[in-house]
Amino acid sequence: MQVYRLPALSDNYIFLLHDPEKNEAAVVDPAEAKPVLQKLDSLGAQLTTIFNTHHHHDHVGANKELMRRFPDLVVYGGAEDRGRIPGQQVYLQEGDRVEFANRTGEVFFVPGHTRAHIAYYFPPAEGEEMGELFCGDTLFAGGCGRLFEGSPNQMVSSLTKLRQLPDNTRIWCAHEYTLKNLQFAVTVDGDNADLQQRFEEVKAKRKQNEATVPSVLGLEKRTNPFLRWESPALQAAVDSQDPVETFARVRSRKNRF
């Protein structure tokens, strides 16, 4: 399974999964149709599947147009998003499985950003080192999504599920927010040497207009303050020893940053 990162809108990423054996494709969170159709044309591939993580327009905006182009397309999304995702036909819950390109993905229910958010995790294929996590707006490189419909307790529970995945998991998050996320992260975890190094590397990448997605979970666990609510340094920075309260205070600061 090959994964292609397609820039969309102002800072979104769409992910196109390609099965070279069958020359079929799936797309994760198609914000707009044009980049998807262009990539399909270049591959000569048939689109069979949409995997949506949540209902926000910048993740489902192209569903209807793609369904018109490919009438047999199957649209997956969370069961709690029923009625909110255009064209949704499959309603997924925690622990469900999805199949694509001879790979089996596991579905995680990860509310917080929205009440119905899900993520898709594909373990490493035989002979490969990296797993693939498509997490929408729950976990970002250096950050996490705003809590529009969920609580800090829900988001900590959701991020805990993702944090427990293997370190060799690629994080295919849906926005190029990394530089701003790390600009904030150093204000609450400034003595973190791994974070300081990452910040410098990301600044250099963005000066060259290079993408910072995908990230890798092992790096996120060392440098992302929204996965480090148990860190004594982070707890001291926000004056809390309670993990959920620590997360909530860090999130609140980020909202105002």
- Would you tell me how many other CB atoms lie within 10 Å of the CB of residue 104? 12
Strands 143-144 and 139-140: antiparallel
Q: Is 58 a catalytic residue?
A: yes
Once rounded to an integer, what is the mean pLDDT over residues 184-203?
96
Q: Is 137 a residue of the active site?
A: yes
Q: Per the residue annotation, which of 18, 55, 117, 175 is the catalytic one?
A: 175
**Is 59 labeled as catalytic in the residue annotation?**
yes
* Secondary structure class of 85 (helix, strand, coil): coil
Q: Over the stretch 150-193, which tens digit does the pLDDT of each residue have?
A: 999 999 999 999 999 999 999 999 999 999 999 999 999 999 99
Closest CA to 122 of 98, 91, 93, 90: 98
The tens digit of pLDDT for each residue in 10-25 reads 999 999 999 999 999 9
Determine which one of 58, 81, 96, 189 is catalytic: 58
**Please, is 209 exposed, middle or buried when counting C-beta atoms within 10 Å of its C-beta (0-12, 13-18, 19+)?**
exposed
Grade residue 105 by pLDDT with cuts at 50, 70 and 90.
very high
Active-site choice (18, 19, 29, 54): 54
In the chain, which residue ranges form alpha helices assigned H by DSSP? 33-43, 57-60, 63-69, 152-163, 178-188, 193-207, 217-223, 232-238, 243-256
CATH number at residue 96: 3.60.15.10
User: Are 14 and 3 a contacting pair, CB within 8 Å?
Assistant: no
pLDDT band at residue 128 under the 50/70/90 scheme? confident
Q: What are phi and psi of 78, to 5 degrees?
A: -75, 145
Whether residue 113 lies in the annotated active site: yes
Q: What is the pTM of this model?
A: 0.96
Quote the domain boundaries for residue 176. Answer: 2-256
The average pLDDT across 216-237 equals: 97
Per-residue model confidence (pLDDT) at position 80: 96
Q: Is 189 a catalytic residue?
A: no
The catalytic position among 18, 29, 55, 59 is 59
Catalytic residue selected from 56, 96, 117, 189:
56
Average pLDDT, integer, range 228-236: 95
CA atoms within 13 A on the CB side of 249: 18
pLDDT at 195 > cutoff 90: yes
pLDDT of the residue at 126: 86
For the chain, give the mean pLDDT: 97
Buried b / exposed e across 175-199, counting CB within 10 Å, b at 16+?
A: bbbbbbbbebbbebbeebeebbebb
- The total number of structural domains in the chain stands at 1
- Residue 31: pLDDT above 90? yes
> Residue range 75-98: average pLDDT?
98
Q: Which two tokens stand for residue 43?
A: 């591959």
| 63 pLDDT tier (thresholds 50, 70, 90) | very high
